[in-house]
Amino acid sequence: MLSLDDYLLFGAAVFLSAATGLMYNICDNLYLSTAIRLDQTIVFRLGSDRLNALVNTAVQTNHSFLILAWTATFLVKFSFLAFFRQLIWNVAGMRRYYWAVVGLTALAWMFLITEPFILCSQFGFESRKSTTVLPCNLSDTLTNSLSSPLLRRIQKPPLRRHDRACDGS
């Protein structure tokens, strides 16, 4: 017989499958936006239809991916919490802490779901005119969302020996 934690894991698998399919769908746009960021003359070689499609859909699909991925992650967390509920329910002092953890986890999930819209609330061509601190193009959104030092290092050229000597390192 299946319990709540099993259903939550099934839901997480569905959301993860959807996120994976969406990522495969936008993979070409990710590579193209990174190439444009590194060499902006590529824009002149693209057709206007391809460029318009990239600008109009890049931010929305990236937001959709983040929502699906975070929901899958938090469904797994809620699955563990549902399983632990069965284990600790008879322990008198643990109920209050359990519900505090459930509440904080739900708040963290809600924040992470709304974070892409907080960072960039505009879509399509309007996202280029954003007044937020972080730019709303796909490469910057992806880099800032993942907060990966590896992605930032890839975007910066390595220092040459002469630059290191002048840099003091």
> pLDDT at position 61, please?
85
The highest-confidence range among 11-25, 87-101, 121-135, by mean pLDDT, is 11-25
| pLDDT tens sequence across 123-152 | 655 555 554 444 455 445 444 443 334 344
**pLDDT score recorded for residue 13:** 97
Mean pLDDT value of segment 92-121: 89
- Report pLDDT for 108: 95
pLDDT at res. 43: 79
Query: For the chain, what are the domain ranges?
Result: 4-155
> How far is the C-alpha of 112 from the C-alpha of 100, rounded, in Å?
18
Alpha-carbon torsion, ordered 114, 6, 101, 14, to 10 deg: -10
Distance CA(61)–CA(138), nearest Å, equals: 9
Task: Pick the closest to residue 139 from 51, 13, 26, 37 (CA basis).
Answer: 37
pTM above threshold 0.85: no
**pLDDT recorded at residue 116:** 79
Encode pLDDT of 30-68 as tens digits: 888 788 888 878 878 877 787 777 777 777 888 889 999
Contact 12, 79 (CB under 8 A): yes
Q: Which range (10-14, 58-62, 80-84, 113-117) has the least confidence?
A: 58-62
Q: Quote the tokens at residue 67.
A: 């929502």
The answer to whether residues 49 and 128 touch, using CB atoms and an 8 Å cutoff, is: no
Residue 149 is predicted with a pLDDT of: 40
Question: CA 22 to CA 6: how far, in whole Å?
Answer: 24
